[in-house]
């Protein structure tokens, strides 16, 4: 018997990640269309309270695997344990986030289960018969593919971060966390995590930022990214970039926004010297407010912009930076 829709609740350093609430929202919408249950699967160490909190975000059932080594991500052991749980529970659909962790885990999981995987999707829907339809951009975002599955179950998919809003919290909801019995040998791993260190030099993460300032070819040279960093710093935001400048080695790939980079939806997105190729628009057009700065009044970026400034970014961006400095200081 099928056990509905499962989501894999990602955690890092024993703290549930925000992408988990996005997955719960996506799963809840699917479940409501077929009157099914949503189960959240959590791996960690000593975080049962956090696991129980997932009921407040739409989970009907929470399965929590508590193991000392699972405070850290261990891909082979995670895949072994999750595959065992899926074999027992027989869900129709299992969804993860298309983060580094999710991509690594779900590829291993698909191989273990000999099931299909739709990776890095930006939309999920159900057919009348309950079959999953996963949508993802292809060919640089110029077309959208609809991926359907054979009769093999479960149907596996990873969803891009930030393509769905987070589920709203409802403190009236609660439930009892279940702890499944897992054979001890499944926790054995060839990997041993001995420590971790943060990256990014204190920079704000694109995935978490409420404000993103992005630069493109209009900056003319890599050293001019200092203008973008200055404005982002004043606003407490993150630095983004178009694919063109990443490919030109002006800035690290971790800053890339777009089809082959990160999908973002901050409250404010400022695009500086970015023409607006479809590859970039796919990754940022869901932002709350979009401000575009470009000398070319015909640039495609203006078609998705909330506000457009036709002008030289070398004049406009420093002026904005100084204005915000004064306003925020006061």
| Beta-carbon contacts of residue 33 (< 8 Å; ≥ 6 apart) | 126
Global pTM value: 0.76
Cα(73)–Cα(44) distance, integer angstroms: 9
The segment(s) of the chain belonging to CATH 3.40.50.620 are 5-187
Q: Take residue 159 and report the two structure tokens written for it.
A: 């969803």
The alpha-helical segments, DSSP class H, found in the chain are 19-34, 48-53, 75-89, 100-113, 225-235, 243-247, 278-284, 301-304, 313-329
Instruction: Give the pLDDT confidence of 142-181 residue by residue, as tens digits.
Output: 677 888 887 788 999 999 888 888 999 999 999 999 999 9
Q: Take residue 202 and report the two structure tokens written for it.
A: 């204190």
Q: What share of the chain is helix, strand, coil (3-state, %, to 5)?
A: 35, 25, 40
Domain 5-187 in CATH: superfamily?
A: HUPs (3.40.50.620)
Per-residue pLDDT, 49:
95
Per-residue pLDDT, 1:
38
The segment(s) of the chain belonging to CATH 3.40.50.1220 are 201-329
Give CA torsion, residues 81, 82, 88, 91, to 10 deg: 180
Max distance between CA atoms of the chain, in angstroms, equals 64
Per-residue pLDDT, 158:
95
Report the top-level CATH class of 201-329.
alpha beta
Cα(181)–Cα(65) distance, integer angstroms: 8
Q: Take residue 301 and report the two structure tokens written for it.
A: 């970026």
Instruction: Give the pLDDT confidence of 18-31 residue by residue, as tens digits.
Output: 899 999 999 999 99
* pLDDT per residue as tens, the chain (330 positions): 356 999 999 998 888 998 999 999 999 999 988 878 999 999 999 999 999 999 999 999 999 999 998 988 999 999 999 999 999 999 999 999 988 899 999 999 999 999 989 998 989 998 888 789 998 877 655 677 888 887 788 999 999 888 888 999 999 999 999 999 999 999 998 888 777 665 544 567 787 788 999 999 999 999 999 999 999 999 999 999 999 999 999 999 999 998 788 888 899 999 999 999 988 998 898 888 999 999 999 999 999 999 999 999 999 999 999 999 999 886
Per-residue pLDDT, 202:
53
């Amino acid at each position: 018997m099928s056990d509905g829709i499962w989501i894999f609740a990602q955690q890092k350093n024993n703290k549930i990640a925000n992408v988990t609430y996005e997955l719960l929202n996506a799963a809840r919408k699917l479940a409501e269309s077929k009157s099914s249950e949503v189960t959240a699967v959590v791996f960690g160490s000593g975080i049962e309270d956090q696991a129980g909190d997932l009921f407040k975000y739409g989970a009907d059932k929470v399965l929590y695997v508590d193991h000392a080594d699972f405070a850290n991500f261990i891909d082979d052991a995670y895949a072994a344990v999750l595959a065992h749980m899926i074999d027992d529970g027989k869900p129709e659909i299992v969804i993860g986030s298309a983060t580094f962790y999710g991509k690594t885990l779900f590829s291993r999981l698909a191989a273990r289960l000999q099931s299909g995987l739709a990776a890095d999707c930006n939309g999920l829907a159900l057919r009348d018969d309950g079959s999953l339809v996963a949508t993802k951009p292809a060919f640089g975002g110029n077309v959208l593919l609809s991926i359907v599955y054979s009769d093999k179950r479960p149907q596996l998919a990873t969803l891009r971060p930030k393509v769905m809003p987070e589920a709203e919290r409802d403190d009236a909801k609660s439930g009892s966390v279940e702890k499944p019995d897992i054979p001890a040998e499944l926790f054995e791993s060839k990997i041993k995590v001995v420590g971790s260190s943060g990256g990014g030099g204190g920079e704000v993460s694109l995935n978490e930022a409420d404000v993103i300032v992005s630069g493109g070819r209009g900056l003319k040279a890599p050293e001019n990214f200092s203008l973008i960093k200055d404005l982002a710093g004043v606003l407490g935001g993150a630095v983004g970039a178009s694919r063109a400048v990443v490919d030109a080695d002006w800035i690290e790939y971790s800053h890339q926004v777009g089809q082959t980079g990160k999908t973002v939806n901050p409250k404010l997105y400022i695009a500086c010297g970015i023409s607006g190729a479809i590859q970039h628009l796919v990754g940022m057009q869901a932002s709350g407010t979009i401000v575009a700065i470009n000398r070319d009044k015909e640039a495609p970026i203006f078609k998705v912009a909330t506000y457009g400034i036709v002008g030289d970014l070398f004049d406009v961006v420093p002026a904005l930076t100084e204005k915000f400095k004064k306003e925020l200081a006061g």
